[in-house]
Structure 1
Amino acid sequence: METVTVLGATGSIGCNTLDVINRHPDKYRVFAITGNTQLPLLMEQANKCSPRYVVIADPKNYDDALQLAKQHNVEAEILCGQQALEDVSSAPEVDAVMAAIVGAAGLLPTMAAVKAGKRVLLANKEALVMSGALFIDAANKSGAQILPIDSEHNAIFQCLPHDYTYGDLAGSGIAKILLTGSGGPFRERALDSFSSITIDEAATHPNWSMGRKITIDSATMMNKGLEFIEVCWLFGVNASDIDVVIHPQSIIHSMVQYVDGSVIAQMGNPDMRTPIAYGLAHPERIDAGVKPLDFKRLADFSFHTPCFERYPNLKLAIDACQNGQCATTSLNAANEVAVAHFLEGQIAFCDIAKVNEATLNALSMVEMTSIQQILEQDALARTKANELIRGKFQC
């Protein structure tokens, strides 16, 4: 019986994690679930999975959470705030932590789990994008096991040799890592119509069911850019070792190309329960509730190279990856601000990339050696992005 904390339980990854856990009550029990604004759903989850703790990220929502807990007959202790998030991530009773809080907010609790030596199921790509070397160094020091949950990184992990040595592609006979992406909803849309893209259009993904922020990132392909950065840190590779490939069907989740001409691909229906189940049970396999591929019904696969004119955010992320930690931290922060303003109808779709690029150009890139410096740079980039939006990009 493994004990699991689910950070970000009410998001898409969190809900799917609890679904997989509920299919295997003999294998897993929930220690804590966390959420913030979707309080009714969080309490419904608590009533069903009976955690010891429920954590509310923002203390302002604590009183409402207490009332809802009574209404839903939740027996768990209700906690709130940043320290509580870190505590339930690092508690001695916890074996595994699903790190599924979206954005920079997930960095500190995820890092707490890493420093405590937990098995970390990493769905929060921003943690690595923001803290890179510090994150990996902390894992190496504590003995934490990092298992990628993003479908693409999970696929790469499955396609690598079991004895792969971090950073040694040549030693494993690997030529390239092929990172696939669907291309989002606008891969065939005329470029001269991008200025009229609506929020609803951008927030609808053709293949995956995800939260609004990550769906917008998929439409701009910033999500793929952040995944590109994460691949570098997860597997210890350089930007030149990775090729991004557009695969609209989202059946092949990523591939590893070997020097002998072989390509090993991981395939499956676009359902996040597959990588979640793989992470929970690794190195074993368990039922995820996902239908197997029916090869007789599969459409032809297609692949092509992404166009940076269509996806400027992807180019910004690849460049930032090559320019260092400060650049990737700043880009992630600027993008979170820009996407939030787009979802509020304050800037246009094309302005997201413009805000991101302008923010990077306005900031000095400095070396960062501590979490405090990373958080300060994150805050500085957010301030600059907001200033740019108020001053130039406001609709």
Structure 2
Amino acid sequence: MTERPVIALDVMGGDGGVAVVIAAAELARERYPRLMFRLYGPEALIRAELAKAPRIAAEAVIIHTDTKVLGTDKPSQVIRRGRGTSMGLAIEAVRAGEAHAVVSAGNTGALMSMAYLSLRTMEGIDRPALAALLPTLKNDSVVLDLGANTECDAENLVQFAVMGAVFARTVLGVERPRVALLNIGEEELKGTDELKEAAALLRAVALPMEFMGFVEGDKIGQGDVDVIVTDGFSGNIALKTAEGTGKLVTGLLAEAFKTSWLTRLGYLLSRGALRALRAHLDPNAHNGAVMLGLNGLVVKSHGGANVRGFANAIGVAHDLVVADVARRISDDLANFRAHRPGPAALETAAR
């Protein structure tokens, strides 16, 4: 266990800028008193905000840069000039061992590209995956990949399942996460060859998870599985659809309560339940997507996250560092490789 987790913060990423990031670090330090921070951005602005953050001001390390990654920057542009940006320097701190994790609310594509080139993938991982929490009718569920890989083979999906299960055990506290592959049906005969092969592999090896087979898109919100595994193309669509549906529901409710004096009365009577619904669907409550599978932890915050939301992203980084998530992923992958069935056994099992 890491006694003093050090988090590198890109203070120039996101809509809220320096003020939100520093206030979030202060809130996170209140929750996790042993947290330490390295702050990358304009020193004068950082020091001005640190005057309002007594918990972290004394120990925070400031690394000055006036250069940032813009939201409009393409990954190819950032790769050429990004090393001196607040995002690039924060990632480099993880690679150099100066920080245990980096948290940024900046350009997602740039963050993924620079992190991949700087940190590279762990041994046994072909591609990193972007994982995040989605609210359900029960508890939150982990979904990955959410956009890092548009096309995936069976090996990628199995690796995502292993990483997602470790993430669920760490963040959700589920001892044996229920894992399923996103598919167009729950029947074993449905889906692509890659999905069928990944399912066969996950059924064949005893891993610290409960493999549930396939799950359809309309079941994601039911909360009957803890980890939903898919390629980045489908995963990103599922994420955006879920976020849009949440906004649709709250928007329709708001309009419905304006139609008559009876509906307004209904609103007054149901305000508590509506506040609970809004809090459950609030992206800030589930903030902090993680690039799993790299030689270093990278957490992506929503660009529009408020102080509480960014603090939650820092909290995700803290939990993964303390739990030594990289070692857990390596151990589970080693177990999988040691007991992986050969092609003949897989073919026999599929009959």
TM-score by length of 1: 0.33
Asked which structure has the greater RCO (Cα within 8 Å, sep 6+), the reply is: 2
